[in-house]
Amino acid sequence: MTDEPAPGARWRALALICLGVVGVLTTWFSATAVGPDLIAAWALSPAQSGWLTNAVQIGFVLGAVGSSLVNLPDIVRMHRLITASALLAAASNAWLLTGPSPGVAVLARIVTGVALAGVYPPALKLMATWFLRGRGLALGCLIGALTLGSSMPHLFRAVAGGLAWQQVVTAASVAALLSAAIFAFAVREGPHGFGRATFDPGQSLRVLTSRPLMLANIGYFGHMWELYAMWAWLLAFATAAQAGGLAPFPFGSPSMLVFIVVASGVAGSIAGGLLSDRIGRCLTTAGMMVLSGAAALAIGFAFAGPPWLLAAVALIWGITVIGDSAQFSAAVTELAEPRFVGTAVALQLGLGFALTVLAVWLMPHIAGLLGGWQWAFLVLVPGPAVGTWAMLALRRHPEAARLANGRR
């Protein structure tokens, strides 16, 4: 086994990878954050506006599942794949600046999602090559970077209310370009490589037949049913609450509330990593999902205020809804065949994000059926409930001893 790299080298790699991920992930919700402006500028219907968000999810699914079927994350050098994908994300995000038709705009967002599938799963694998000890914390930091990047367009919008939507989109594309430069010139694979694979489409099917991997994936799927629907529609929920007569939130505008809630997931991801390395992957993920599911249940009761209560529940939800995310991928890196870790992670993410397409699409329809947003998030509660069951079942499996150096 290769010795651990010098602490300074691996933490420097961690910082650079996280910085790169923050930049490129700003493209994920760049259209969502300026949704009201696009509705006005392009005369979009609510359904068309929703597809600007869901198109990224669809693109990510296509990219992640497609790359896993050809083992792309295990064949192409990771920093090269991420660099090319970051450049594509910057270009496809900037495509919105041309004022395309709604259909072309949705296509541009699909391409952005495909590009992000070439960044996020390989970045998880790249990070794992630098860490054997402390892998849960390292991957937690990376998911924190994803969280921060995803929240940044809301910050752009909140701190500069008069900022034109084109400037928000431009800022996201520039950030993605800077990230491409980081991955091209400053980041390389660590000493704990997984080995180079050859093309083997059947490996994707074998990943799905392993019971420990399947339980970890079911846990992840439950988590994903909740996560992106919450991120995508919390702004609509908060805006509806304030329009219903609720006094201003402690953080100011609904956009600032959403930024703080989503960005609070950085702390949750780091805490989840620390806990996972100490008490185990299964216990940490199950605990986080119990708390996030409880928040999804409770936030409807806080809809009418007081504002500090709604903000507090939302903040707890923001911390716990993402705090376990990295640990499902960490579990896959420890349970999967080493040569096909990239394929296993990409397939996990692809199938998980396929669920988010349904959840994101479903939420406004549920809100419409219920006559408003107050109780719409109840539909997300079954996700963390099923995920909790799966991770506790995995904890009882003999192969769970491979997790976090024996910490289940």
State residue 86's pLDDT score: 94
Helices and strands (H and E) in the chain: how many: 19, 0
**Mean pLDDT value of segment 161-167:** 73
How far, in Å, CA of 13 to CA of 187, rounded?
7
Is the alpha carbon torsion for 175, 180, 183, 185 positive or negative? negative
Contact 374, 238 (CB under 8 A): no
User: So where are the chain's domains?
Assistant: 7-406
Looking at mean pLDDT, say which of 117-121, 213-217, 218-222 comes out highest: 218-222
Q: What's the average model confidence in pLDDT over 222-233?
A: 92
Predicted model pTM: 0.77
Architecture of domain 7-406: Up-down Bundle (1.20)
Q: What is the 3-state secondary structure (H, E, C) of 124-158?
A: HHHHHCCCCCCHHHHHHHHHHHHHHHHHHHHHHHH
Structure tokens, 3: 């010795």
- pLDDT at res. 298: 95
